[in-house]
Structure 1
Amino acid sequence: MTDTDDTSKEIFGFFTEIGIINQLSTALLAQALPDGVHPSHFAILNHLTLRGDGKAPVKIASAMQVTKNTMTHSLKVLEERGYIDVKPDPKDGRAKLVYLTSKGQQFREGAIQEVSAMFGKIIGPEQLDIMRRTHGDLGKMRQHLDENR
């Protein structure tokens, strides 16, 4: 086996583990959300909280790496629940901007508390130590991948 083969396996193995962790954690998050609200909807609220609201739907779609049509549907679900407001862009009357409402902020915080409690039942000291050791490096990897997509 060559070094290239070993590196390929290492890279593939790394991202496979991250993908599986994502699937398992997303399934837990889904259990904490009410019917009709999916983890992808929660991700939009989280994005608006962390990156700031007042963003165009197309920009959010790009960040979430989904189509404009998928984003339109997701925003409609969130708007119907009162979690976001979609308003005309004051600089371009044809465009829209998305704003997180206080109800959306409260919903996000409640979901985080609920899913954290669920994780708290299965995360022990060893897992917390792993999380603390790897969190910063995973953030650097995410940033690198985001800058190079």
Structure 2
Amino acid sequence: MSKNDKSGEVSASDIFAFFNEIGIINQLSSTLLARTLPQGVHPSHFGIVNHLYRLGDGKTPISIASAMQVSKNTMTHSLRVLVDHGLVTVVPNPGDARGKLVFLTPEGRRFREESIQRVAARFGHLFKPEHVEAMLRIREDLSSIRRHLDENR
């Protein structure tokens, strides 16, 4: 509800402003992440590694493409980059002779952890205690909104 709106309904400008702030934070944080990644590895590639780490690997390329909201061709290219860097393996799917499954390698797991540590080391000092408190306070709410949006795509 907008500060000026007592009806209980959220205004279009409030919805836009909310997602605009998230989008700008995403752009800024992706740029910070990109500065810490090895040559040829992009934040979108890190996103795939992080997805597999968070939700468990052994996913099909098409399910990862759906989660990342990219085309099958884009996912094929991204997986090739990750395989070339030794971060994932792509193996035949034993349950579907035409399909494949994607697994993180031990190097892929280390890469994720090291990337997070590099970002924290390089940029953690930028945050004042009140910023950290705000991030911790709103993280669960943002996760709830993300889950709701993901369930209603």
TM-score, length of structure 2 as denominator length: 0.93
Q: CA RMSD in A?
A: 1.6
Which residue identity does 2:76 align to in structure 1?
A: T
Amino acid at match of 2:38: P
| Deviation sequence 1:16-50 (CA, Å, 0-9, x none) | 00000000000000001011000000000000000
1:58-69 mapped onto 2 (5 Å cutoff) = 58-69=62-73
The letter of the residue matching 1:97 is: L
Q: 1:95-146, CA deviations, whole angstroms, 9 ceiling, x for partnerless residues?
A: 0000000011011111010011122121110100110111110000000100
Select which of 116, 140, 143 maps to 1:139.
143
Q: Structure 1: 5+ residue runs without aligned partners?
A: none
Moved more, 128-137 or 2-11: 2-11
Q: In the alignment, does 2:61 pair up with 1:57?
A: yes
Q: Indicate the structure whose relative CO is greater, using CA pairs within 8 Å and at least 6 residues apart.
A: 1
- The aligned length equals 149
Aligned equivalent of 1:70: 74
Who is 2:46 aligned against? 42
Structure 2 gap segments, 5+ residues each: none
Query: Which of residues 3, 7, 12 in structure 2 aligns to 1:8?
Result: 12
1:103 aligns with 2:115: no
Calculate the TM-score normalised by the size of structure 1.
0.95
Q: Output the amino acid matched with 2:152.
A: N
Instruction: Quote the Cα distance in structure 1 between the aligned partners of 2:31 and 2:63.
Output: 26
Counterpart among 93, 96, 114 of residue 92 in structure 1: 96
Q: 2:126 is paired with a residue of what secondary structure?
A: coil
Whichever structure has more helix as a proportion of its residues is 1
- 2:96 & 2:152 partners in 1: Cα distance? 30
4+ aligned runs moved over 2 Å, structure 1: 1-6
